[in-house]
Chain A
Amino acid sequence: MSAGMHLLVSGFSLGSFYAVVALGFALIFGVTHAFNLAHGELIILSGYLAYFLWRALEVHPLATLPLTLALMPVFALALAQLLRLVREPFPMNSLVVTFGVALVVEQALLYTFSADYRLIQPAAPAMVPFPALGLVFTEAQITLLALSLLATGTVHLWLTRTFEGKALRATIQNPQAARLAGINLGRMRMTAFAVGGLLIGLAGPLYGQTLYLYPAGGLEATLIAVVLTIFAGVGRIPTLLLGGWVLGLAESWAALALGANWRELVSALLLVLLLILRPEGLKTRPEA
């Protein structure tokens, strides 16, 4: 496989995964206007759960999904309850509170799982050849791409086609008008956190198969979620996927051209540049 094709494959699968990472973050931001800095740490937590289940029971990595999908919404809903206690100025205070939550989760992970780097990597990774394209994928790459696209596609259909999803979009775009239209805002809030939790539950095992897990690793995932959310806005999933692919390709290119360690710089630099170009950040509503 040529270096260029390798770059494309890893860029697209990584990018699609980044869209999943950002989607849960964006939905929660959409209804609460809280930048959840604990988002990445929760994904790492989900990844650790998958890692130890996989090691302990020697099951297929994806067989851990039922557990993470069941547990992570519980954590997300607990976070929702915590954020209800936050007083004005809400955006700044919720940022600091979720920063605190990230520190707590990180320390809890350190205590439970130690500081070692972990990767969910079967001893003999299954290879899937695609002779027509002249490419060979690992099974992890295929599941990463397929599950990420499936998840973003499902959420997209849910948001655009179902009653519940449309109500959530209405809440994100204009909470006052949504309330006047009879939408229960408290329920929408819970829905967003629950769906966000499911996406965190999905992202954890995928993260553990793709990137190294370590207690402080959540920051990178959080930065990715922030940069994509600011780029795409809330609820625009095609744009989110596009942003994910650009980021994934840029990271893969940086890793290839400059060295693996420079990859970490890409999302941070993109975030800084994006904020410098768009200092007002995200506008969920047009200016009055």
Chain B
Amino acid sequence: MRLSPGSAAALLLAGLAGWPLLGRWPVGETVLGLACFYGALAVAWNFYALTGAISLGHSAFFGLGAYGSALLASHLGWSPAVTVPLGALAAVGYAGLWCLGFARLRGVYLGLATLAAVEVPRVIIDNWNSLTRGSQGLVGLPPLPTLTLGPLSLALGTDTRAQYFLLLALLALSLLLHHVALTSRWGWAWRALRENETAAGLVGVPVWRHRSLALLVSAALTGGLGAVYAHLLGILEPALVFTLHLSALPLVLSIFGGRYHLLGPAVGALILYPLDQLLLRPWLPTGHAVVYGVMVILAILFFPRGVAAWLERREGKDPEPARRPSASAPGPHGQGESAASPPPAGPSGLPCLEMVRVSKRFGRRPVLREVSLQVHSGEILAVLGPNGSGKTTLFNLISGVLRPTSGRILLFGTDITGWPPHRIVHQGLARTSQIPRPFPEMTVLQNVAMGLMFGSPGAPSLEAATPRARELLELVGLADQAATPAGELPFADLQRLEVARALATGPRVLLLDEMAAGLGPREVVQAARLLRTLRQQGLTLMINDHLLTLTARVSDRLAALDQGELLAVGRPEEVLEHPAVRAAYLGEREAEAHEPDGL
């Protein structure tokens, strides 16, 4: 029997709802209720983890939600029905500060910042005695109100069974949102961010916006849960909520259960929390929480994808739709006719991409010096230069991966200097990368679909993107590998995937970075044919190469770079005859006599 994650979740929730109906409570009512609660907390934490971030500081949101709600309820006498959402809003406000302040932090450093960021609200609340009564804490918080649903009346303040259903409902709500996050268009954006953030930007995913969205959703849920917790408990003090334990718990439960699975975080909570409370606590009254530390260590070392992924594999893997028996027999490589395309155009002579005195320094080391270059509509311009001459840096500046130290870059007359990669993609420029940047756990087809979903105009869903993605895979000769995870492709195929994915974003200008590197003679011929096909379709191409293998075959013009300086631009034969170019590339000593500043 194979269950989709969605139906497994529905079954699980139904089971938990039916549990108390078995008669008297079979096992510890509060334990199961709290397991649901911590499951919801772990799911909430996981929204941020879906973008690849590991937060060590979610207790900040939990505590702010709790304090936001408790202070409003106790000082102003408002009902928890109003203050709980407002508490969640307080957590969202602090998360907003993280979005702004931690925008450039990644990975380990982001984790460390989140760890430290808990201390700020904790110390302030601990010391603002007039408002929060400091470490003495708040007592006598109003209980949750009674909820009336038609004939059913749930006394959430007093009735433990009603509270159990409330906590279960919170778990159900967070799982529903989790399901949306895993399957929707923005869920794909988050997955792209997690698998390769630079590549996500280059296919048109607004990186900052999506990371922030994930954090805000995560903080809102965490804050709301904190607020509910405060009213269930009736008392509140900093040491109850701003704790390492509460930051660690969702992380542990989620990693143990499985971060990338719909049910993972919830399953982690439903296994570990009862294990902790029912088995361990009776004979280890202090120190029973050691189980969380041990389990997260074991999980990272031995099953980093968590319990849920392990169960899934054992049931019979393949959550992806099986490879479709190819409806259209894979044609010969490089067929371009099937691809929908703008009207063909030759070189028009108008500049569509223009660099004006662009310089880049890393620290004190100049990598590009005042490079001015125009790329004309419809041409193939090759940037030639030895390793280290600044070719890839130039591409990084144009595509927004790096920001120039000085100078301007114009695309179709618009100044795009300093724009983030996704905006440049939407303006009609895409690039490939010399060292391929696949989304390794997505299939080849899904990789290309990312370009179609987040480029321009942007497909609404994976399904809508699939037909065109198949066409592009045919174009580059990868149709047979459509269902292979991209991480398993050999290097040459990854380079083709780069091209297909860049084309998927709907560019008018395409930058190909070291496309010929590592290709054999036959593959160079294929690549040259592909480039001419693309130009016929109206694309402007800028390619770079440190060998003449590919560039000499196809380019209309050459630009020669050496040590960050543009030596010459023009027709290939002119540039190759240029004395400075000969001196730099061929090391012809006599060239120095003709060109005093040649080398």
Question: What residues of chain A have their CB less than 8 Å away from a CB belonging to chain B?
Answer: 35, 37, 82, 85-87, 89, 91-93, 95-97, 99-104, 106-108, 110-111, 114-115, 216, 219, 223, 226-227, 259, 261-262, 264-265, 267-269, 271-272, 275-276, 279-281, 286-287
Contact = CB atoms under 8 A, between A and B. Distances in A.
Contact of B290 (A35, A85, A103): A103
B255 A96 contact: yes
Interface in B115-137: 115-120, 123-124, 126-127
B293 A104 contact: yes
29 contacts: A35-B112, A82-B297, A86-B301, A89-B107, A93-B304, A95-B111, A96-B54, A96-B251, A100-B293, A100-B295, A100-B300, A103-B245, A103-B289, A108-B290, A219-B244, A223-B115, A227-B116, A267-B116, A272-B101, A272-B113, A272-B120, A275-B112, A275-B116, A276-B102, A276-B104, A276-B105, A276-B113, A279-B105, A286-B363
A184 B584 CA distance: 41
Interface centre among B108, B109, B116 (most CB of A within 10 A): B116
A211 to B, nearest CB: 16
A14 B248 CA distance: 29
A107 B109 CA distance: 26
A86 B290 contact: no
Contacts of A85: 301
A103 B289 CA distance: 8
Contact of B252 (A93, A95, A100): A100
Contacts of A265: 119-120, 123-124
A268 B112 CA distance: 10
A272 B362 contact: no
B292 interface: yes
A150 B204 CA distance: 56
Contacts of B301: 85-87, 97
Nearest to A222: B115
B200 interface: no
Contact of A96 (B120, B244, B296, B363): B296
B56 interface: yes
B120 A100 contact: no
Contacts of B123: 261-262, 264-265, 268
A96 B286 contact: no
A107 B101 CA distance: 33
A261 B54 CA distance: 29
A93 to B, nearest CB: 5
B110 to A, nearest CB: 8
B108 A95 contact: yes
B28 interface: no
Contact of A92 (B54, B127, B293, B297): B54
Nearest to B110: A275
Given A265-B119, A276-B102, A279-B104, A103 B255 contact: no
A113 to B, nearest CB: 10
Contacts of A92: 54, 107-108, 111
A107 B467 CA distance: 55
Interface string B259-290: 00000000000000000000000001011111
Given A96-B300, A97-B300, A111 B284 contact: yes
Given A86-B301, A96-B251, A269 B115 contact: no
Interface in B317-361: none
Contacts of B245: 103
B294 interface: yes
A271 B113 contact: yes
Nearest to B301: A85
A265 B251 CA distance: 24
Smallest CB-CB A-B distances: 5 pairs: A111-B287, A103-B293, A268-B119, A104-B293, A107-B290
A269 B107 CA distance: 19
Contact of B116 (A91, A114, A223, A279): A223
A281 B115 contact: no
A12 to B, nearest CB: 24
A95 B56 CA distance: 10
Contact of A86 (B104, B287, B300, B362): B300
A87 B304 CA distance: 9
Interface centre among A96, A106, A110 (most CB of B within 10 A): A96
A104 B294 contact: yes
B56 A104 contact: no
Contacts of A110: 286-287
A276 B106 CA distance: 11
B112 A100 contact: no
Contact of A102 (B106, B126, B293): B293
A104 B290 contact: yes
B108 A91 contact: yes
A268 B304 contact: no
A99 B284 contact: no
Contacts of A103: 244-245, 248, 252, 289-290, 292-293, 296
Given A85-B301, A275-B113, A107 B119 contact: no
A35 B120 contact: no
A89 B108 CA distance: 11
Contacts of A279: 104-106, 109
B113 A97 contact: no
B297 A101 contact: yes
Nearest to A33: B108
Contact of B56 (A99, A107, A114): A99
Given A223-B119, A281-B109, 11 more contacts: A35-B112, A37-B56, A87-B301, A95-B54, A99-B56, A103-B248, A110-B287, A268-B123, A272-B120, A279-B105, A281-B112
B101 A276 contact: yes
A95 B248 CA distance: 12
B287 A108 contact: yes
A85 B299 CA distance: 12
B290 A99 contact: no
Interface centre among A95, A99, A262 (most CB of B within 10 A): A99
Contacts of A86: 300-301
A93 B251 CA distance: 12
A85 B304 CA distance: 12
A275 B105 contact: yes
Contacts of B113: 271-272, 275-276
Contacts of A287: 362-363
A272 B94 CA distance: 14
Contacts of B290: 103-104, 107-108, 111
B38 to A, nearest CB: 15
Nearest to B294: A104
Contact of A262 (B56, B109, B127, B284): B127
A227 B101 CA distance: 17
A275 B123 CA distance: 20
A127 to B, nearest CB: 31
B235 to A, nearest CB: 18
B98 to A, nearest CB: 10
A267 B123 CA distance: 12
A16 B579 CA distance: 62
A279 B102 CA distance: 8
A268 B117 contact: yes
A279 B286 CA distance: 39
Contacts of A264: 119, 123
Nearest to A111: B287
A271 B116 contact: yes
Given A85-B301, A91-B108, A269 B293 contact: no
A100 B101 contact: no
Contacts of A261: 123, 126-127
A261 B105 CA distance: 29
Nearest to B297: A100
A91 B286 CA distance: 32
Contacts of A87: 301, 304
Contacts of B109: 275, 279-281
A272 B123 CA distance: 15
B287 A99 contact: no
Contact of A99 (B119, B120, B286, B296): B296
